Structures are given as C-alpha cells and as structure tokens.
Structure 1
C-alpha cells in the first residue's frame, strides 16, 4: 500500500511539473494508506531532502541576489559556455526576464510539490492504523515542514511582512484534494499566520513524545529545529519578544555548543581537506541537516572553460564581494575559516574568495559540486538562535529603553563571538546606542551566517535598501546594475506555468 500511495504522488507530480499546475493533484486520492508507517515513509520519500538526492531546487538562486557576491573582472570563457554565463548574469543582475528564460530561478513548483506531500500525510493521518504517539510523530514532522516550506515561498514571492502584510502572498493549499483552479493568493499576513500555526502545533505534538526523542540527530526534523524556525519567523514578523524567547529556548534547553574556531587548524592547500565541512553531525552547533549540496552550490560555483594562448583553463566567475570581506576584523577567525579561497591551479597564488562557505574543500581548495555526492546543503544551527535572540533583545532595547535588553543582547553576542576570536583578540561588546547595537547584531549575523541562504531574506526585512552589482563581461568591460530601494525586484515574479491552471493568480510587479 505504501508503494501505491507513493506512486500516486509521483504521477501527480509529473503532471504538476509538465503542465505547470503546481497545486492540483490528479490521482493521489486513488490510493488510501492503512498504516501510519506508510505515511512516515511518504514523508521520507516526498518531503525530506537530503544528500545524494536530485529532487528539489530550493536555494541555488539565492546565492547571487545579495551584496555578499561579486563578479571577478578577469574571467574568460569559450563561446560554448554562453548558456552558463547567461544564467549567472540573469540572477546576478536581477533580470526582468528571469521567469521567462531561467528555469532554475523559479522554485515555486518545487516547493509546492513538497507541500503536497505534507498535505497528503495530514489528510490521511486520522484514518491510518497506529498508536497516538506514532501519529503525533508523523504529524509533527509534516506540519513543521509545511510551515518551513511556506516560509520559504512567502519570502521569495511575497513582500516583507513589515511593509506588505496586506499584499498578495502565495495560495494557501492545506489539503491534497483536487479543485484549486481559480485559487487566489492569500495575503502575506495570512500566510505568516498559518506558518506560525503549523509550527506551534508541530511544537506541541513533539512535546507529547518521550523527551529523549526531542533532539535526536537521526536526520529527522526535531523539536529544537521547530523552535529555531519559530524564532526565525517571529523575527521576520518583528515580534521581538517571541524571537528572543524561542531563540533562548534553543540555546538553553538542549546542550548545543558553539564550535570554538580556536581549535580548528588554519586552511592550507597542502592539507586534505583544506577546509572542513561544518555541515556534519560532528559539529556541536548542528540541530538539523537538510537539502542537497548540489542545489546550493551549482549556481555560485558554476565553472566555465576557456581555451586561449596559454592553454586550457577554467574560471568560477562568481566570488565573495569586497563589501563582505571588509566586514571582518583582521583578527576574526571566521575571516580565514569561513571565507574560502577559490580553486587554484598548480603554481599560482589564489586571488579571490569563493561565494560559498562552510563546505568541505579538498586539494587546491576545490569543492566538488555534485548532486549525488552524499553531502548536505543546508544546516540549522544553534548559532542562528543566538543571533535571532540577540536581534530581538536589541530591538526591545530600542523600543523600551530597558537596559536589561541591552545587556542581554550583548551577552548573547559575546557567547558566540568569544569562540570566533583568540583570547588575546576578543573584546566584549559594549554599545550603548540602540541603533548602533542593532547594526552590530546584524553585521554579526552577516559574518556568522554568510552564504547560508539568509542574506537576501534579511536585506528584504531590513528595509530593501539599494544594492549595486557590477558585471564584467569576458573581455573585462564593466556594467553597473542597481536594485533601487524598495524596488519591486526584491520580490520575485511567479513563474509563467503557475497561471496555466490557476486563473485566480495575479502577477507581482516586475523590477524597475
């Protein structure tokens, strides 16, 4: 029976992908599961994303939108590499025609496929055989993922909560039943309300399980990850008190530790690996691992090839921006451990930093971009909890003037930062001006979480300030592209296919 329901979902997804109807299942209801175990396996097959799987393209495009990336001016490529270059150029310059010419840009359908899997589990959960504990365990996972998936969608295709609560978000499809034609987009506020509702219910259900299961590292989403997501969502909703409270829950209730970079050897091209992977269960910061490394790295580490006078060589055009690099103090250990040298050829000195971070690099600082290499792409870590909580406290300090919040924000930052500097270089945070403290927290967030799919979403919620990108062509000629303050381009347009079977949708405004 498990095979039958999974087959039904795969048939559904084929139609969704080929016809563009991202919400309407065609045949899933023909197969009815009888055991809760079937739904648990359905979660693993259709909802989870992990190393070595080729399904799901959620994150890659986020790597080229923000101000942490730049284009190296001296790259070259053969004419046959134009398709690769065009993808990079469209994403890096926020091109108006991305939805028409860049298939990897639209994650809309990919995410809704995962939501369909969640909805199928939730639709059948009361009809299957199994104990209440078994059902709660499965339902908690499905609700946690549905909340996370909608959070990802709304931050791509809806305006930031702080400025666009009443604007169109995405359709809230909460069952796997047919009949979505003409379904309108729910407002941003309605989507966030459902996200919080799903995550809080997932939290409640996890707490009905034995306490020993709450924070298992078994490649399943767990209670502290749900609470980290709640903290993140409240932060985006500017509910500072709850962002602080849930961030502190994650920090204090489970025993996660911040990895001390003082104990890590400095990267060296003669070592193997040259850079360690921080996305492993050996890292004491890890709460949950998710996603595929190929999805995250494919676009920012796109390699182009060139045959010139000096022979055959290759380049990665995308690099870390000087703007990002300058935010690190020279004594900040993250500057050497997180900012990774580009791949180098024998006998040459590295010149640029990669536009990725915290992945394992082998000889010559090389990261192998592979969809089937068995490596994780996304990590949920306790370090984010410190930063969510610190920002919540700093904002409460600004709103109330209560010095206790100032001290709490600084203490949270320093518990993280003390592991990022040597004892001789570390200086405790002492900032009395609220706006300066907030800016410092956000700079720390940028430094700590660089290239972890946060920066673009953060820039949106910070106020959508102007971003400038300089594009260099293969001849070294430069062109400047500007995403203006509050430009509609901070919100992506829906893919064309989404409208073919849902006449109720309305398109987002194109960028200026």
Structure 2
C-alpha cells in the first residue's frame, strides 16, 4: 500500500455523510502521520476536489441547472421511448424537492463538501504533532485553511440565506475538527460561517506570504496566494463589504502577471473538428489563477444527454444530444459583435449533417468536440477555474456600489476602466468603443450584466441571483408531447435556498425539523 493510499485511509475511516456520520463514533485508523509530508499527501487525497481524487465528490452537478442561463429544448418529442434519463435534468431544472432522493448520487453537495472539509480538518488536527520545518507546516496549513474556506463558502451559499438578506439566518453546522464526537451540532448562523471563512482566508494569506515567491505564485495544482486573495474579494463582495472586495480584487489585478485572453486569437470552433476547440480551463491560459474540481462533476447532470431518433431522408438513426441549452435571454444579452457569443457558447445540432434545429449548449469554456461523451466526460479535465476576469468584475461591481451609495466619482471612473480592460479583449480588434457614463446608464446593473456574459456557466450565476435580491425566476420545460410546463420561483421564494438533506438529521438532534423539506 503506497503512502498516499495509507493516509487517505486515515481520513476515510472517519468520513461522514452530512451530520450523520461525523457525529457517529468509528474506529481510528492504524495509520497515524508522523511527518508533514504525510499531511501534504493527505491534502491531495482528501482535501483537494480534483480529477485524480480517490473519493468521488459531487459539488456542482445540479447547480448549473438552477439559474436563468439555461433553458429546456422545446423539440424533445424525438426522444427515444427507451431513454430513461430524460427527466434527470428536470429534477434540478424545476428545483424539485425530491431531487436528491431521485438522483441518488447526483448533487449531494452537502455530503461531498463535508467529506472534503473533513480532509482539511484532519490535516489541521495533526499538524502540531508531526515533524517538519516551519515553512513546510505553514504551506500545508495555508492550503488546508483556504480549501476549507472555499467548501464552507459553497455550502453556506447553497443551504443558507444570502448574507445580504439575513446574516442571522441558519447556515450549516460548523465542524472545525476531525475528532469524533457524539455531541449534537446545530447550524451556525450565516454570519458565523462567513466570519470563519474570512478569518481562515486571512490566516492562510498570512501563512503563504511567509513562503518563498515560487511557492506563493505556483501553478502546480496547489493553492497559491492570488487564489486566496481572489476568493477573499469574492467573499467580501457577497458580504457587501465593497471596500475590502475592491482592495483584494485590485491586489490580484495589479500584483501579478495574469492577463485577459484576447478572444481575437481564438477562432470560432468548428463542431466537426476537435482541434478547433480551445480549452479555457488549462494551466497555460493566461487568465487562470487556480483550478479545482472534476469535470465529470460539472457535466454529469448540467448537460445531461439523451438518445434521440433522427431521420435524414430514408435513413433513421440514434444520436446522443443535450436536454438543456443556453437560454435565449443569455444569448440575446451579447452585442452582435461580442466574440464571447461564439467562443463561449458552442453550437449543437441534432443531426449528423448539421441540419435541423441548432442550439448553443451550456458548456461555456469547457473543451468539447465531435467525439466528446456526455456520460463519461473527458478524463482528467478540471471543472472549476478561478480567473483574473473575475477579479476585474469583482472590483468593478464593488466600485460601482461605492459610487451608487456614496457618490464617489473616482470609483465610477475605476469601474468603467476595469470594464473597458476586460471588454476590449472581447470584441474584434479595432472595433471596441470605450464605455461612457451615458452609454452605461445604471452602472451597477451594467456591471452585473457584464458579469453574466463573461462568467456564464462558471457556477456564479445562481449565487449571484440570490445575492442580487432573489427576483422572480421562471423555467419552462417541454414534455414528450411538446407541452410547455412552467416552474416558478417567486421573489424571495424559499426555493432559492436548498433544504438540508434528510440524512443530515438522522443522528443530529440539534437540527430542527423545520430545517428540512423533502430533500431540497
């Protein structure tokens, strides 16, 4: 048994399913780490959500179908009658309360997040007792704190109300140790979770700054300083702490050599040629600061495919195709000359000859081609990218809010400048015209629309809709008989916040029964 497997077992014996398992005593593993290198290996095996991770975790599989960037195809009457997966996407698309029960392993973000948090906690618990240099320990601790912060941020934005709406509302149980306990654990408030996140991220920032520059700025699949600072800017943006959100975003923009990719250098993909497809989620992309997550997590449900029957002339054959597509509302939000419309949103045709209905599919910057497989994904590809483009948008929104609330003209100018730097790389060379106050109109509204266009299908939109005020949201599904069915979330609808899964209540009496409603 290799060392990585040994120390993965250290955590796997105490992994839990929601609150049930982390409150249930279990036997300890015989493998106890003695040196810091063992904890470093433990991080890779049980704390990083990655394509090569030993334990399969699903954090995002349902998230891509919640928002208004997706729509259901109206022509699914051609679905093969033997197809069993047709309604999988509907469960998330309709915000069904039975989603997690009926989808089984799909979308169990609650259990998956806590499994990863347990890996982080185990590393932090053992850190003081292992041999190693101060530099080595600081490095491992910074990574564990940063990763744990991200997973709690993900959890609280799924299962807690938006910070700006009710920070005193119940969030999620805050588990900060891997030690076994039979004590019940109530939900901490949204505010308490955010305090833990920001405190841990600032400590991670302090620790990683003690390391040599090459470790602070590494691009080797490990947490780095710019990622920590970008995440801080995002968290502060959600907290409506505009000054700190802008300060951290500016730091990422100004202190490092990440560059906005010029889409003029990216040809429009040819659906018949794999070689024509750019891979935006790549360490060689000048925008990429850090990557996390397994692409299978992203595509397993978000672009669920079904088998359809296609007839061309006298020939009838079956083809795998997507159920959900990019919404007209998103597509129409792009200017005619905006290159993102064709570089980010990929055409999909239901026939082999590219005739018939064509749609833009919700894979955004993910690598696709003629031989991609919706069910198995693309192997060791990444599913989440943290990019410099977000820093520009975080800074612009924070500055726009300062201008709106305080009338600070300097912040207005800054917001326009950051938007121009991003947008000029999104239009054909020589055609872009800088923004003016008159053209923009409501600056905050414009920034948020730009954020949608730039970050579509990067798993920001649902969380953004929540923090913007949870306005009315409607999805239209089409059944096999082509009949439209409407699903609606009203303004401030409780459906904007997921209910804790039933499994969380089985051994945690501190959770209140009104915290649960079905499985959503």
TM range (shorter): over 0.9
1:93–1:469: 8 Å Cα contact kept in structure 2? yes
| 1:171/1:283 CA distance change after superposition, 3 Å | same
Q: Which moved more, 1:416-425 or 1:225-234?
A: 416-425
1:386 aligns with 2:392: yes
Q: Which moved more, 1:161-170 or 1:367-376?
A: 367-376
1:280–1:286: 8 Å Cα contact kept in structure 2? yes
1:225 to 219, 227, 235: 227
Alpha-carbon separation, structure 1, partners of 2:517 and 2:438: 41
| 1:4/1:274 CA distance change after superposition, 3 Å | closer
Residue-by-residue CA offset, 1:194-243 (whole Å, 9 max, x unaligned): 00011110000000101222111111011100000000000000000011
Aligned twin of 2:112: 110
1:351 aligns with 2:358: yes
1:150–1:191: 8 Å Cα contact kept in structure 2? yes
Alpha-carbon separation, structure 2, partners of 1:352 and 1:223: 39
| 1:78/1:217 CA distance change after superposition, 3 Å | same
Deviation of the 1:164 alpha carbon: 1.4
| 1:469/1:405 CA distance change after superposition, 3 Å | same
Aligned twin of 1:44: 44
1:486 to 485, 492, 502: 492
Q: Give the TM-score taking structure 2 as reference length.
A: 0.93
- 1:341 is paired with a residue whose SS is strand
Aligned twin of 1:401: 407
In the TM superposition, structure 1's runs of 4+ consecutive aligned residues that sit over 3 Å from their partners are 1-5, 17-20, 22-25, 27-31, 306-311, 366-369, 432-435, 507-512
Alpha-carbon separation, structure 2, partners of 1:33 and 1:496: 34
1:311 to 306, 314, 317: 317
Alpha-carbon separation, structure 1, partners of 2:517 and 2:70: 23
Unaligned runs of 5+ in 2: none
Residue-by-residue CA offset, 1:457-488 (whole Å, 9 max, x unaligned): 00000000011100101121111111110000
Deviation of the 1:108 alpha carbon: 0.4
Alpha-carbon separation, structure 2, partners of 1:415 and 1:139: 35
2:504 to 495, 498, 504: 498
Alpha-carbon separation, structure 2, partners of 1:191 and 1:260: 38
Aligned twin of 1:261: 263
Unaligned runs of 5+ in 1: none
Alpha-carbon separation, structure 2, partners of 1:457 and 1:223: 24
1:244-283 correspondence runs (5 A): 244-283=246-285
Residue-by-residue CA offset, 1:236-271 (whole Å, 9 max, x unaligned): 000000110000111111110000011111222343
Superposition RMSD in Å: 2.2
1:332 to 307, 324, 338: 338
1:137 aligns with 2:147: no
Alpha-carbon separation, structure 2, partners of 1:91 and 1:462: 21
2:18–2:504: 8 Å Cα contact kept in structure 1? no
Q: Give the TM-score taking structure 1 as reference length.
A: 0.94
Aligned twin of 1:426: 432
